[in-house]
Structure 1
Amino acid sequence: MNLLTTILLITTTLSVILAFISFWLPQMNPDLEKLSPYECGFDPLGSARLPFSLRFFLVAILFLLFDLEIALLLPLPWGNHLLSPLTTFLWASSVLTLLTLGLIYEWIQGGLEWAE
C-alpha cells in the first residue's frame, strides 16, 4: 500500500468511528434551567438575547473585506521572481486603487460613521 492509500484509510476509519461515537453518546435534553443564561451564580436580570447593532456588523464585514484584500498584497516582496516586475507593480497598484476607492465609497455612504 502506498502512503496516499494509508492516509485515506486512516482518515475514513477515524471519521466513521467518530460518527458512530456521536450517535452512541447520550442525547442532551435541554430544560429551562439549562437554557437560562449563567450570570456568575445570580439569577438573570434581563434577557440574554439583546438586539445586535447592524452598524457593528457592517463595520465587521468591511474589516473582513479590506483585510482579505490586504492579504493579497502580502506575497508582493517575493514577486520579483515573476516574469516582469512591471506586471507585479500594476497588479499591486490595481489592488491598492480598489482598496482606496472602496474606502472612499464607504466614507461617502456613511458606513464608517458609528453614531448616526
Structure 2
Amino acid sequence: MLTSLFTTIILIISTAVMIISSILSKKTISDREKNSPFECGFDPKGSARLPFSLRFFLIAVIFLIFDVEITLLLPLASIVDMTYISTWIFTGAFFLLILLLGLYHEWNQGALEWAN
C-alpha cells in the first residue's frame, strides 16, 4: 500500500516537472535572423543544404557490410587449434564464398562503379 502511494506521488511529480519544463522552454519569438544559417555575420550566399551523392552513400553502406563480414572472419584464425581442421576449412571457405558471391553480385549490379 505504501509503495503504491510513493509510486503514484513520484509519477505525479515527474509528470508535473516534465509539463512545466515543456511549457517554459517554448520559444515565443521567432526571429528571421535567428533562424537563418550564420556565416560570420553576413547573409548566406547559397543554400545551407548541399546536394548529397546517393552513389557515395551506397558505396559507404556496401563498405560497412563487407567490413562487418571481415570482422566476423578474423576470429577464425584464432580458433584453428580448438577445432578440427576439416571443419575449420569448411567454415572459412563457406564464409569466404558468401563474401565473394556478395561482392560479385554488387559488381554485377554496377554498384561499385563510382562514375558513370
The TM-score range, normalised by the shorter chain, is: 0.5 to 0.7
After superposition, residues 53-64 of structure 1 pair within 5 angstroms as 53-64=53-64
CA distance in 1: counterparts of 2:45 and 2:73, whole angstroms: 48
**Largest Rg, 1 or 2:** 2
Matches within 5 A, 1:62-81: 62-81=62-81
For residue 87 of structure 1, report the CA deviation from its aligned partner. 1.6
Q: Which 10-residue stretch deviates more, 32-41 or 51-60?
A: 32-41
Query: 1:113 offset after TM fit, Å?
Result: 1.1
- TM-score for the superposition, normalised by structure 2: 0.65
Q: Hey, which bits of structure 1, 4+ residues long, moved more than 4 A?
A: 23-26
State the aligned residue count: 97
Distance 1:109 1:32 in 2: 47
Q: How far apart, in 2, do the equivalents of 1:58 and 1:97 lie? A: 22
Change (3 A) 1:37 1:89: farther
Secondary structure in 1 matching 2:77: helix
Residues 51-89 of structure 1: per-residue CA shift (max 9 Å, x gap): 321111110110111001000111122112433122222
Gaps of 5+ in 1: 1-19
Counterpart of 2:4?
Answer: none
Superposition RMSD in Å = 2.6
Match of 1:27, as an amino acid? S
Distance verdict in 2 for CA 1:103–1:35, change over 3 Å: farther
